[in-house]
Structure 1
Amino acid sequence: MSRLRPLLMLLPFLPASVALAAPLGEAEALRAAIDTHASIESARSALTAVQGIQAEADFLLPGNPALRIERTTDRWHHNNGEREWVAEISAPVWMPGQMSGRQAVAAAKRTEAEADVAAVKWALAGAVREAYWKAWEAKELLKAAEERLDRTKSVLAAAEKQVKAKEMRELDARTVAGEVLADRQTLARRRGEYDAALAVLVELTGLSKTSLDDLAAPNPSAPPPQLAADLEASRPDLKALRSRLEGGRANVDLQEARALPNPELSLAVKRTSTDYDRTYDDSVIFGIKMPIP
């Protein structure tokens, strides 16, 4: 026991995969798929883009402000010293109903994107669960085929000894040899089925084949807890359809509000001089540009 004490003291510092090699469960496979699968990443990227649209819809102005700087001189004409400087900043303002309509469209798109993420999780969870069950079943069938081949090989070895001892007919031993050949063919088929099922599971989860060699027996009574936590009692497909309908209606209202360009408010500082010897006269100009329907 004293010789094993140093190893026992190092046990808490070993990685979990070394200290306790537990079989991979269905929940871990689903978690890996949700973290790495391309369909989830695409749906999350769409959600991030929609969040940017929503932030733009909540902005104070419907568009970007503009800056104008202008200089006028008669130097190339009469050259009397007339000079003028104008610095102006202008910004569009919301028309009635525009901001609320834009926010409604952005909110509907965000709800749709969130529902799309949930729907992708549903589809991915179903695909992972089906692939996990098929891989586990193929693994069990492969084990059964290996055990059967070992038994038939043992029977064939015993039969060959009995044939040499003149205790069994050679025809009966050939029958056992035929069973061994059939079991080898079955084993090759089972190994191919297992490799194919494992390849599907590897593609879905992004895990290595070595980590999927030992699969825990799936529980047929309940899905993994991620499904119960994220997707239970919800229909993300119907939610996405409703959000598309609401977004379409809000977009129609928004297009009606956008029929006219936005009004613009402007603030300008003007400096004017009519002679080289005169100082500048400064003035401040407030303006508004209204569209005419």
Structure 2
Amino acid sequence: MKPVPWFVSCAIAGSVLVGAAPAFAQPPHPSPVAPAGTTLRQAFEAAWQRAVQSRESEAQTERARAEQTAAGSLWAAPPAVELNHLSDRVHSNAGRKETEIGIVWPLWLPGQRGARGVAADAEMKLAHAQTQAARLRVAGLVREAFWKLSAAQAEAASTAAQTRYLQGIASDVQRRVQAGDMARADALSARAELLEAGSIQGEADQRRLAALAQWRTLTGMESMPQLLAPSRAGLADPALPADEHPELRVAEQAVERALKRLDAVNLSRRDPPELSVKYREESPGYGEAPQRGIGIGLRIPFGTDGRNAPLQAAALGELDVAQATQQRLRERHEADLALARGALQSAVRQLDDTRDRAGLLRERAELIGASFRAGETSLSDLLRAANAAAQSDAALARQQAALGLAQAQLQQALGILP
């Protein structure tokens, strides 16, 4: 039996990345493949539905909606009912008593209702921007988990192919030892290399299972979208204004909300005035006719520094913090974007170098394999060449996934969802 050509392992590792491995070269533990039509976008949406950030965003939106409802109310605060009753039964018991019932309506100050409404609208816009930013953060987790699993699967397939190749070499060497063509020491060396390859394969499988478990926890899916190598056509930056990045939108809306809250504070220099309408019934004593009347009252609180200064200081502090946060976030975004572009360019160069190196080692191993079968090269030289080629193939598989991750991280820095 002729040994299996070593370069089959290279074909297997590459086929994992393009999703087209031949039937005879499937790994011993097949990588999960998502149902037809499953995309990274669907995996992201599934992860978003499971994420705690999704519940937080919903609660934030509900709070903003409640503030809009309160700002649209006819009254500055909930109306109140007043009840008063006075009787002399305990003292003189002359039959004198007074009963008063009234309704109190807090009124909006001029311009206050509009300012509160604008502030509530800014709160709703901020909640929407925070939802988009939270979705982007979850998308980053999904992308990272996806490409981590991609690399683990490719490496596991590469090590499995190398193990099968060494199994073929060990079997062929054993037959040649039995035929007297090779020494027993060669069989022991081949067997030792096979055992080491099996150990490496086991470690790669464990990493694959760990990455798959992380993927399942994140998305709730038992499988992942079909693995595809990133295309060079998708390496250019999409046309996207910097201000459209969700994190920058959050900072911008936080400044806007702080400004509107400051306006609302400036237009609320005192507590709301209260309009009251009261009905009063008074009985002077036994046998006397009761007296009734309706009254209208207006209560106007004064605005003092003791009330206004803390509120205005808090509003100004919130605005200052929001503006500083926006400036720092812009600087960090520019740095992250430059770093992501540099990482992508580096990943492209490394992939080209790794592919060239893998091709050279593949050709070298093919030549040494032919020389070994012709009896011109020792087994140790063949095993060294095969191991070097297998390591290069595994590095190529990892670098292919690294390129995909670098491209995904650039999209993340640009604020693009899957």
| Same structural fold, with TM-score higher than 0.5 when normalized by the shorter chain | yes
How many residues end up aligned between the 2 structures? 264
Indicate if the aligned counterparts of 2:243 and 2:249 stay in contact, CA closer than 8 A: no
- Structure 2 residue 94 is the aligned partner of structure 1 residue 80: yes
Q: Cα gap change, 1:233/1:128 in structure 2, threshold over 3 Å: closer, same or farther?
A: farther
Q: CA shift at 1:23, angstroms?
A: 7.8
* Structure 1: stretches of 5+ with no match in the other structure: 1-19
- 1:237 corresponds to: 247
Give 1:85-104 correspondences, 5 Å limit: 85-104=99-118
Q: What is the Cα deviation at residue 247 of structure 1?
A: 1.3
Residue equivalent to 1:268: 278
* 2:67 maps to 1:57: no
CA 1:39–1:32 in 2, change beyond 3 Å: closer, same or farther?
same
Aligned twin of 2:287: 277
What is the alpha-carbon distance in structure 2 between the residues aligned to residue 232 and residue 151 of structure 1?
Answer: 51
Structure 1 residue 37 corresponds to structure 2 residue 37:
no
Distance 1:233 1:255, change over 3 A: closer
Query: Which amino acid in 1 is paired with 2:59?
Result: S
Equivalent residues in 2 for 1:75-224, closer than 5 Å = 75-207=89-221, 211-212=222-223, 215-218=225-228, 220-221=230-231
1:258 to 265, 268, 275: 268
Separation in 2, partners of 1:278, 1:96: 47
Amino acid at match of 1:235: H
TM-superposed deviation, 1:112? 1.2
Cα deviations across residues 210-262 of structure 1 (Å, max 9, x unaligned)?
Answer: x12x6411463599xxxx9xx99932212111111111122222222222111
Quick one: percent identity of the two aligned structures? 25
Separation (CA, whole Å) in 1 of partners of 2:266 and 2:243: 37
- Alignment of 1:47 with 2:93, yes or no, is no
TM-fit CA distance, 1:150: 1.9
Distance 2:113 2:50 in 1: 37
Any idea what the Cα deviations from partners look like across 1:154-202, whole Å, max 9, x if unmatched?
A: 2212221221221222222223223212211221221122123223322
Tell me how far apart the structure 2 counterparts of residues 218 and 279 of structure 1 sit (CA, whole Å).
95
How far did residue 21 of structure 1 move? 4.9
| Larger helix share, 1 or 2 | 2
Contact residue 271 and residue 302 of structure 2 kept, 8 A: no
Runs (4+) off by over 4 Å:
none
2:102 and 2:41 mapped to 1: Cα distance?
62
User: In 1, Cα distance between the equivalents of 2:160 and 2:242?
Assistant: 40
| TM-score computed with the length of structure 2 as normaliser | 0.58
**Displacement of 1:278 after TM fit?**
2.9
Q: Which amino acid aligns with 1:237?
A: E
- Say which SS state the counterpart of residue 293 (structure 2) adopts: strand
Q: Distance in 2 between matches of 1:219 and 1:50?
A: 43
2: CA distance between counterparts of 1:281 and 1:219?
92
